[in-house]
Amino acid sequence: MRKLALAVLTALAVAGCSTGSGQVDVNNGGEFRFVQGTPSGGVIAEDERQSAPEFSGTLLDGGDWSSDELAGDIAVLNVWASWCAPCRVESPEFERVHQDLRDDGVQFLGLNVKDQQQLAQAFVADKGLTFPSLYDPASEVALAFRDFPTRAIPSTIVLDRQQRVAAVFTAAVSEDDLRSTLDQLLAEG
């Protein structure tokens, strides 16, 4: 019995934030699925960056928000959910970086997907997050980034000051990796 329990726990740990077949179906006709990711990242060369799509939505607290609010700043967009274990680890690290760099022209925005609003709000309160998060239960905002590999939860997209995609991480991001990426973008001027 112990071996069976250990095998089940191991299988769940390997699955990360995925379920069943390794995919969580988003209710949009099956066009977009969140799957367990693998780390990637690194700053994309300036001449190879693509413009980020424009998007808008409703914040977890109910206010309206538009990507126009990011104009001129570096932006860290983090796709997360309250049920995602790696999200619990990286969110306090994101908050520390946010606190350190918010006066340097770096904005953070969470994209809460496939979640219940009450659970997402409790997550934000529990982790002490002060940066805003869009409530995106149907993943409509996340779908705007379908041209970029952000199909894992968590995923993080970093935009440069011209609102071009400068880095993409398809797994939890360490604080050191995030700071390194942002330092490179801040140095671009």
Where in the chain are the domains?
31-187
3 state DSSP class of 121: helix
What is the full DSSP assignment across 8-69? HHHHHHHHTT--TTTEEE-TTTTS-EEE-------PPPGGG--BPPP-EEEBTTS-EEEGGG
pLDDT number for residue 24: 35
pLDDT band at residue 139 using 50, 70 and 90 as cut-offs: confident
Q: What mean pLDDT value characterizes the chain?
A: 81
Q: What share of the chain is helix, strand, coil (3-state, %, to 5)?
A: 35, 25, 40
Q: Which fold has domain 31-187?
A: Glutaredoxin (3.40.30)
3 state DSSP class of 155: strand
Mean pLDDT of 143-163: 84
Mean pLDDT of 9-13: 33
CB 126 within 8 A of CB 11: no
CB 131 within 8 A of CB 154: no
Residue 121: other Cβ atoms inside 10 A: 17
Task: Give the pLDDT confidence of 78-132 residue by residue, as tens digits.
Answer: 999 999 999 999 999 999 999 999 999 999 999 999 999 999 999 999 999 999 9
CB 155 within 8 A of CB 77: no
pLDDT over 60 at 13, yes or no:
no
